[in-house]
Structure 1
Amino acid sequence: MNVKNILTNLETKHPGEKEYLQAVHEVLESIESIYNENPQYEAAKIIERLVEPDRVLTFRVTWLDDEGQVHVNLGYRIQFNNAIGPYKGGIRLHPSVNLSILKFLGFEQTFKNALTTLPLGGAKGGSDFNPKGKSDAEIMRFCQAFMLELWRMIGPNTDVPAGDIGTGGREIGYLYGMYKKLQFENTGVLTGKGLNWGGSLVRPEATGFGATYFTNEMLATNNDSFKDKIVCVSGFGNVAWGVALKVTELGGKVVTISGPDGYIYDERGLDADKIEYMLALRASNNDIVSPYADEFPEAQFIAGKKPWEVKCDIAMPSATQNELNGEDAVKLIANGVQYVAEVSNMGCTPEAVEALHKAKIPFGPGKAVNAGGVGVSGLEMSQNAMKLNWTAEEVDAKLHQMMSSIHSACIKYGLQDDGYINYVKGANVAGFIKVADTMLDQGIV
């Protein structure tokens, strides 16, 4: 495999899709040696098949606002790879959504889902619709119009969407209601459902809890723990909330959260009341984090900046892609950061990852660290299929075991001769081998 030639060809075919090309580049660099050691992959053109999605669906979504005005948005579903199971991936509703971002997310999802050990393929979808500031009725009309275009292409054994940025329990409810009306059946075709109608306990916390369990495994590998560790977290949504809950439970102190307007520095750390307030903050529809400092005057709001300038032991970017760049990584290293766990999808730029690796800072990539969200979605699918509900303790135990297994796979393929664990290589190789070998088993399709 010649990584440079493959990327050049992709750039020619998909110009301007920078996030997608970045994700492909990272994976290909990691797997180059194992790929070249196995000529059967080259003979079957596994890479050429793996980097292109099975299909890309683009559609118009037309809906009415509360004043009767017509609005038009673009909708997408990227069904990337279903070698090991039905397509699985979230629906993102955000103005930044475009083809490049969704292809990168679908590509990453393929490997992430493989790491969970569950039989799930990779997909992603969404729209440039912005739910912020919209009424419940407007969001309902949008979701119904979105599902009217999508419903024929999904199903419990075909493609199972989930929530993502901008798509919470309310949106999943509206999407699911329209799907079962159109399909005339009640199946577990979406995950992140309400507990009254097929949802799983621990699902809202799953991504944050799973990320913390994975990071705890990283710490334990060095005979370390979260106890008394200073932790910087970005974001203030569902994922950051889950991280804050579990880190605090394990004895760590979360001192930052952030939003598009800047970040909060709370030297005392987030306690139960402050973590509970994050739910109200997230539900406010303002998409800003500054009100936290009004609610808790001992905290500082730093406008227009990111939390990576704060001295900490552990950094856990939990907001969006490429939120931690090379300059941020240098600041963290200079301030003595000991671990970085990428909770958001591709939350660190290549320059940041390179700097962390060069400094031998243990760095967990998003496809491993945040796999708990899709993992519990898979457990929700299992519960739906069996028509039962597991207790929160049962789900949490399965999540904990899943994250421990993913960490072990990363060590298996990422442990270097000098003792440093390259978690990026470990996660990419482990996920790739599972998907590639399955594709070989199934022939040229």
Structure 2
Amino acid sequence: MSAANESALDNHHPGVRSAFEHVARRNPDEPEFQQAVLEVLDSLSPALSRHPEYARERILERLCEPERQIVFRVPWRDDQGRVHVNRGFRVEFNSALGPYKGGLRFHPSVNLGVVKFLGFEQIFKNALTGMSIGGGKGGSDFDPKGRSDTEVERFCQSFMTELHRHLGEHTDVPAGDIGVGGREIGYLFGQYRRLANRWEAGVITGKGLDWGGSRVRTEATGYGNVLFTQRMLERVGQSLDGQRVVVSGSGNVAIYSVEKARQLGATVVACSDSTGHVVDERGIDVDLLRQVKEVERERISVYAERRTGARYVEGGSVWDVPCTVALPSATQNELDADAARTLVRGGVKVVSEGANMPTTPEAVRVLREAKVLFAPGKAANAGGVATSVLEMRQNARRTSWSFEHAEQELAEVMAGIHDRCEEAAERYGAPGDYVLGANVAGFERVAGAMLAQGLV
């Protein structure tokens, strides 16, 4: 265990320190996983002190060890006839509350440690929804960018040929994530249907509207994060109306965060991609952003070329743009301590994570010390998985909801998540601490189910 991690766990419950030492020893080369575990364990000493049975039954050690880790070869042939071999993953982390539920990520950065970090986060995120779903995650180091539709189809069919034997609507239900959108979900579901010889709509979510998908699923993560932000502001007597917002990223989560923030009266002045960021003082034009990034798949600089008054900043940090609300919605560890200090100097009031673990531990400390309202992703971006379960519910009933009904269901779920976090934080003497509230509320629900079901 590193010196930094040792100091982070000073004065913690012995069960917390023992659990992290166990994780660090068994997963030495998985920094993202260790970071995710440490972030949760850092909040749990009060819960272990109040519930000694959690330590006695080693709930933490059991929770940090996946129930099943599946790693497999994915061979496929490109359009020139060349053979490629990628690696596929599915980590089925915890099923105490229900079937494993979590997305598939196709990106070159994917490895077992990244999938485990995402799956571990998913346990608590899913628990916070109040729904009957466990936590899991998967994906591959395959990069769909620059690949033809037929190449993506061949890869998805090869990937699902192996993975299908581990799935089922009562066993494990994947969805999309980075690199896995409607096209990939279609190919994956088609191959599953072919292999399983049955129409099992609830086995995968994020489907097209004409074949079992749910309205609002596309918008859900971004919309949900903004709704959570609005709820936090309401708690302190404010609202999003009139706020100046910066969103990192320009993918699905970012686009629909921009859209919902605008609907609630905010002005979103900046967003980004891996090459740089754009600043648009009049407010980001979400239709143009969607055209550039989702339809044409162009760089964010093209937005500035077409939008009068917008400017493009190559490189640099989108967090240099002053704002009152920041929504990190790109990727893990994108917002570091220096960026957090810049945000504080710029007058930020709220930081709410649209991506998974986008804020480094050091940055979280900076924001909390500055009394900035901070919402961890496991709470704030749970709208995506919540709407996936709403999709499963519709599939089970062979029905389809209107956009308005689905959006209302999402709003109720996000309000419930916020209130669970707030209640847990207050119960443990830390009102307004959404990090502690989210970690403790999610943990207590899963731990209670694990205790009730015995040593499995």
Same fold (TM over 0.5): yes
State the match for 1:200 in structure 2. Answer: 214
Q: Deviations over 1:291-313 (max 9, x none)?
A: 11111141111111221111101
Match of 1:121 among 114, 134, 151: 134
Q: Which runs of structure 2 are paired with 1:421-432 in the superposition (5 Å)?
A: 421-432=432-443
Distance in 1 (alpha carbons) for counterparts of 2:429 and 2:41: 23
Query: Which amino acid letter does the alignment assign opposite residue 262 of structure 1?
Result: G
- Determine the C-alpha separation between the residues in 2 that align with 1:101 and 1:259: 21
Q: Using the alignment, how far apart are the partners of 2:429 and 2:276 within structure 1?
A: 39
User: Is 1:372–1:403's contact at 8 Å kept on the other side of the alignment?
Assistant: yes
Matches within 5 A, 1:127-276: 127-187=140-200, 188-270=202-284, 274-276=285-287
Give the letter for the 2:368 counterpart.
H
* 1:312 aligns to 2:326 (yes or no): no
The answer to whether the Cα contact below 8 Å between 2:182 and 2:206 also exists between their aligned partners in 1 is yes
Q: CA deviation at 1:6?
A: 2.5
2:61 aligned with 1:12, yes or no? Answer: no
Matches of 1:24 and 1:117, distance apart in 2: 21
Q: Does 1:40 align with 2:53?
A: yes
Deviations 1:257-286 (A, max 9, x none): 11110111111112xxx2122223223675
- Asked whether 1:330 is paired with 2:312, we answer no
C-alpha distance 286-245 of structure 1, shift in aligned 2 (>3 A)? closer
- Structure 1 residues 283, 66: closer, same or farther in 2, change over 3 A? farther
Aligned residue pairs: how many?
442
Q: Match for residue 110 of structure 2?
A: 97
1:290 equivalent in alignment to 2:271: no
Give the TM-score, by structure 2 length: 0.95
The separation in 1 between residues aligned to 2:287 and 2:75, in whole angstroms, is: 36
1:433 aligned counterpart, secondary structure:
helix
Q: Is contact 1:132-1:286 (8 Å) kept?
A: no
Alpha-carbon distance in structure 2 between the residues aligned to 1:250 and 1:381: 29
> Whole-Å Cα distance in 2 between the matches of residues 36 and 53 of structure 1?
25
Residues 14 and 419 from structure 1, CA distance in 2 versus in 1: closer, same or farther, beyond 3 angstroms? closer
Matches of 2:195 and 2:133, distance apart in 1: 25
1:61 equivalent in structure 2: 74
Aligned to 1:90, the other structure's residue is in SS state: strand
Distance 1:142 1:281 in 2: 26
Residue 401 of structure 2 aligns with which residue?
390
Q: Distance in 2 between matches of 1:287 and 1:163?
A: 21
> What amino acid maps onto 2:273 in structure 1?
G
Runs (4+) of structure 1 exceeding 3 A deviation are 283-287, 415-420
**Residues 155 and 104 from structure 1, CA distance in 2 versus in 1: closer, same or farther, beyond 3 angstroms?**
same
CA distance in 2, matches of 1:392, 1:70: 43
Q: Work out the CA distance in 1 between the residues paired with 2:275 and 2:296.
A: 14
- Counterpart of 2:343, as a letter, is L
Using the TM superposition, give the Cα deviation of residue 413 of structure 1 relative to its aligned residue in structure 2, in angstroms: 1.4
Paired residues of 1:89 and 1:123 also in contact (CA < 8 A) = yes
| Alignment match, 1:83 | 96
Q: Distance in 2 between matches of 1:435 and 1:287?
A: 42
User: CA–CA distance in 2 between the matches of 1:284 and 1:19?
Assistant: 32
| Partner in structure 1 of residue 412 of structure 2 | 401
Distance in 2 of aligned mates of 1:168 and 1:257? 21
Match of 1:302 in 2: 313
Q: What is the alpha-carbon distance in structure 2 between the residues aligned to residue 287 and residue 86 of structure 1?
A: 38
Q: 2:327 and 2:86 mapped to 1: Cα distance?
A: 33
Displacement of 1:341 in angstroms is: 0.5
Q: Taking every aligned residue pair, what percent have the same amino acid on both sides?
A: 50
SS of corresponding position for 2:303: helix
CA distance in 1, matches of 2:431, 2:338: 23
Amino acid at match of 1:433: E
Change (3 A) 1:353 1:125: same
Distance 1:236 1:176 in 2: 27
With over 3 angstroms needed to count, the CA separation of the structure-2 counterparts of 1:313 and 1:418, relative to structure 1, is farther
Give 1:436's aligned residue: 447
8 Å contact kept, 1:237–1:278:
no
Instruction: Please tell me whether the aligned partners of residues 278 and 311 of structure 2 are also in contact (alpha carbons under 8 angstroms).
Output: yes
CA contact (8 A) 2:334 2:359 kept: yes
- Secondary structure (helix, strand or coil) at the match of 1:30 reads coil
> For 2:313, what is the secondary structure of its paired residue?
strand
1:42 is displaced (CA, Å) by 1.6
SS in 2 for 1:191: coil
Q: Report if aligned partners of 1:314, 1:340 keep a CA contact under 8 Å in 2.
A: yes
Cα distance in 2 between the residues matched to 1:46 and 1:79: 17
Matches of 1:368 and 1:425, distance apart in 2: 11
Query: What CA distance in whole angstroms lies between the structure 1 residues aligned with 2:80 and 2:354?
Result: 39
- Per-residue CA distance 1:410-444 (angstroms, 9 max, x = gap): 11112389975110000000000000000011000
Q: CA deviation at 1:316?
A: 0.4
- For the 8 Å contact 1:360–1:420, the answer to whether it is kept is no
Q: What TM-score do the two structures reach when normalised by structure 1?
A: 0.97
Contact 1:416 1:422 (8 Å CA) reproduced: no
Contact 2:46 2:428 (8 Å CA) reproduced: no
Classify 1:420/1:301 alpha carbon distance in 2 versus 1 (closer, same or farther; 3 Å): farther
1:229-250 deviation digits (Å, cap 9, x = unpaired): 1000011011111101100000
Which residue type is aligned with residue 332 of structure 1? L
CA distance in 2, matches of 1:63, 1:417: 52
Maintained 8 Å contact 1:309/1:328: yes
Cα distance in structure 1, aligned partners of 2:53 and 2:424: 20
Residue ranges of structure 2 left out of the alignment (5+ in a row): 1-12
